[in-house]
Structure 1
Amino acid sequence: MRVLQKYFALEIGRSVLFVLIAFLALFAFFDLVGELKSVGQGGYTLQKALLYVALELPGYVYELMPIAALIGTIWALSQFAARSEFTIMRASSMSTGLAGLMLVKIGIVFVVITFAFGEFVVPHTSNLAQRTKMLGKGQSLSSEFRSGLWTKDVIRSDGMTGETIGSRFLNVGAAQANGQLQGLKIYEFNNNFHLVSLITAAKAEYQGANRWLLHDGSEAKFSDTSMDQPNKTSDLTDAIATERFSSRTLISEMTPEILSVGFTDPEQMSAIDLVSYTNYLSENNRETARYEIAFWKKVFYPFAVFVMMALALPFAYLHFRSGGVSLKIFTGIMIGVSFQLINSLFSHLGLLNTWPAFATAILPSALFMLAAVGALMWVERR
């Protein structure tokens, strides 16, 4: 049985690798064609376009691995059936359960690869790809927003520790790809939601340890007692104290990583980053459903490889005369595309209907696994 396991692994691994490379080449070609129209804008050269396309490839590896596992397994098993090898294996006491177990052992390798790409490779390469594109074109990350980027923060009595004494709303005019912020407006409120300070700064640079260095700015402080019921213009004047500064430090929970999330697809974030950002949103009383769904999808998506390989197993029971290999491959492609569409559809439905994030993420895989079990029962009865 060890020889048979090795034979299965070799044939399926070779087929999956071939399918994956073919898909990557196809998507890389389309991406490059799409980038060619931007070549020549600013400093965006053909070399940078090629680098951008290359950095996007790990994301496609993550997304396409279940489909490649499905099509590659269908191809290998269909070849077994066409050469009557699978029939001989079954006659030699190989049960459906044993065949499924061998596929599970092979699938573990693909699951680990998918998880590693999704958690450790894609978040970094996707971020580098966007920065390469923006720096090449000389664009800022938030240039597409009319009012800039808005984010919310809390003010604590002792920098990053201590009790919460207020809240802070930050408006960033432009976030450069190098991490520098430009055109800042910072509104600080106390716990009664009274405006106590308005800070403006021409730019800000991150110093690490939750510290930002603000440059060329001013701060207007508002007195609570004088601003309660102002009756005269002089009261308003006395209530506001303004001072200018060339540089000052701002301690904030906001970091470049948190800001970059505003421009990053949650599907491209790691599970650790999703947990961190979800906690940040929760602490600031902001909606977290989208990121919770993305987190659970990140957890379950690698295991979709098992589901796809289970769907491929019934094809081994269909003899060559029941349909050509090309028809089986086409069917596999349609199944894979359907899985991706339904997976995406459930994410939107779960977000719109406030379904539990766990259920939203696992339902597509569960439905396709039920379909795989049903297909196996059907082919065995035949």
Structure 2
Amino acid sequence: MNLTERYLGKTVISFSLLVLMVLVALLSFFEALYQFGKVNESFTFAKATLFVVLKVPGYFSELFPVALLIGTLMGLGSLANHGELTVLRVTGWSIRRILFAVAKSAFLLWLVIALIGEYVAPQSESYAQKMRIEALNKSLSLGNSQGFWVKDGERYIHIGRVVSAEELRQVTLYHLKDGRLQKVQSSPKVVYDERRGWKMQQGQAMGLLFTDLPDDLSRVLLEDNAQLQPERLRQLRLKFQKLDQTPLGLPFAPDDLAKLDMDSRYLSLVDLYAYIQFLQQNELDAGPYLLDFWRKLAMPLVAFAMLAIVFPLIFGSQRQISTGQRVFVGIVVGLGFQLVNMLIGNLALVYQLPIALGAFLPALILLAIALLWMRRLP
């Protein structure tokens, strides 16, 4: 970057960070008001405050596009009001050159925010949810009132209730072989041990064994019912076994359960991809998670589109505009984009359209409007 590009980038980044801090502070304030209303003997004021602080990294990546839009409007608007952008135009700088000069610095800022969203936010959000659930003595909100199912090879696992990330209730495992049920294991309580993994508490196993009937009994049954086929005359034997402290080898860890209870917006790309694979393997609907996955991948394009729409707003007006007016315009454009983004994403899910299209299309539309508008500028 040359000196002019660094000056433009410094201006945009400083205003964008200022707006981002203000938006995060506002969102944290309202979250704190809600959490302080839940304070009791176990969920203390200190824990409620810590919960709000731990959610802050997730707010950074969530609010970044709108903060970049408003910050760029304020930063470039300030330069425009002082005639500095006019001087740049006179010296030969085109609007597109100024756009790409600002985009370089915005990309570096997005990279930092993206790293926070991928590595810091998921961990802090997971710990915040776990701490709050344990303090309020609540269950993880997985599945529905009938629990949820997990498929692991030829095992089908039903979990009635997730008390915490380390404790499960009413767990039943169905073991199949060649499509036939071979064994059923059940336990009212399953806990996690760091050395042995998941283990049963007062569980039991029921083995199913199909064997041929004795010849004399088969002969009698065939004489009484000629429609029976000899190769289907088999008997079922049940074998019961008490199980306690028996390892189960469940295909997930406590951290995985804690992440499943998180809002998918705060999951990292790796965690989202793993959960999508988990849902697809169990033949469950992964559409909303696929949409969030593609939206994360579309975030650089969204940020660039937010940046690009600022330039026709700045260079298309020849009169001076106050900072308050620019902030208002930024909020309107940002909210409008969020509404369109939600609308197109939901339409893609409802009408079975390509999920990636639902994630990228709003940004492409905004970018196309910005570029066409800029072409009409003098």
Name the TM-score, length of structure 2 as normaliser: 0.87
Identical positions, percent: 24
The count of aligned residue pairs is 360
Shift of 1:323: 4.1
- Confirm or deny that 1:221 pairs with 2:207: yes
1:224–1:104 distance in 2 versus 1, CA, 3 Å: farther
Instruction: Give the Cα–Cα distance (whole angstroms) in 2 for the partners of residues 302 and 268 of structure 1.
Output: 17
Structure 1 alignment gaps of length 5 or more = 156-165
- Confirm or deny that 1:278 pairs with 2:264: no
Instruction: Give the Cα–Cα distance (whole angstroms) in 1 for the partners of residues 15 and 348 of structure 2.
Output: 35
1:191–1:91 distance in 2 versus 1, CA, 3 Å: same
Task: Indicate if the aligned counterparts of 1:314 and 1:375 stay in contact, CA closer than 8 A.
Answer: yes
Q: Alignment RMSD, CA only?
A: 2.6
Of 334, 351, 371, the residue aligned with 1:373 is 371
1:209–1:8 distance in 2 versus 1, CA, 3 Å: farther
- Confirm or deny that 1:313 pairs with 2:311: yes
Instruction: Give the Cα–Cα distance (whole angstroms) in 1 for the partners of residues 188 and 346 of structure 2.
Output: 39
Deviations 1:89-139 (A, max 9, x none): 100111112101111111111220232122112211111111121111122
Aligned to 1:70: 69
Instruction: Give the Cα–Cα distance (whole angstroms) in 2 for the partners of residues 224 and 74 of structure 1.
Output: 75
- Confirm or deny that 1:99 pairs with 2:98: yes
Instruction: Give the Cα–Cα distance (whole angstroms) in 1 for the partners of residues 92 and 207 of structure 2.
Output: 83
Greater shift, 304-313 or 68-77, is seen at 304-313
- Confirm or deny that 1:170 pairs with 2:175: no
Deviations 1:164-195 (A, max 9, x none): xx231322323314x22233222333442x43
* Secondary structure of the structure 1 residue equivalent to 2:39: coil
Task: Indicate if the aligned counterparts of 1:62 and 1:118 stay in contact, CA closer than 8 A.
Answer: yes
Aligned to 1:187: 174
Instruction: Give the Cα–Cα distance (whole angstroms) in 1 for the partners of residues 11 and 366 of structure 2.
Output: 24
- Confirm or deny that 1:203 pairs with 2:189: yes
Alignment of 1:225-264 (within 5 A): 225=211, 239-264=237-262
Shift of 1:46: 0.8
Task: Indicate if the aligned counterparts of 2:208 and 2:236 stay in contact, CA closer than 8 A.
Answer: no
Deviations 1:43-93 (A, max 9, x none): 011111111111111111011111111100000111111111111110011
Instruction: Give the Cα–Cα distance (whole angstroms) in 2 for the partners of residues 273 and 236 of structure 1.
Output: 47
Instruction: Give the Cα–Cα distance (whole angstroms) in 1 for the partners of residues 320 and 12 of structure 2.
Output: 22
Deviations 1:199-222 (A, max 9, x none): 222332335699522222111222
Task: Indicate if the aligned counterparts of 2:118 and 2:267 stay in contact, CA closer than 8 A.
Answer: yes
1:326–1:187 distance in 2 versus 1, CA, 3 Å: same
Aligned to 2:229: none
Instruction: Give the Cα–Cα distance (whole angstroms) in 2 for the partners of residues 121 and 143 of structure 1.
Output: 23
Instruction: Give the Cα–Cα distance (whole angstroms) in 2 for the partners of residues 376 and 93 of structure 1.
Output: 17
Deviations 1:3-26 (A, max 9, x none): 211211221111111101111111
1:313–1:191 distance in 2 versus 1, CA, 3 Å: farther
* Secondary structure of the structure 2 residue equivalent to 1:247: coil
1:101–1:143 distance in 2 versus 1, CA, 3 Å: closer
Task: Indicate if the aligned counterparts of 2:13 and 2:106 stay in contact, CA closer than 8 A.
Answer: no
Q: Which has the larger radius of gyration?
A: 2
Shift of 1:293: 1.9
Aligned to 1:362: 360
Deviations 1:27-48 (A, max 9, x none): 11111111122111x5011111
Aligned to 1:121: 120
Instruction: Give the Cα–Cα distance (whole angstroms) in 1 for the partners of residues 194 and 240 of structure 2.
Output: 28
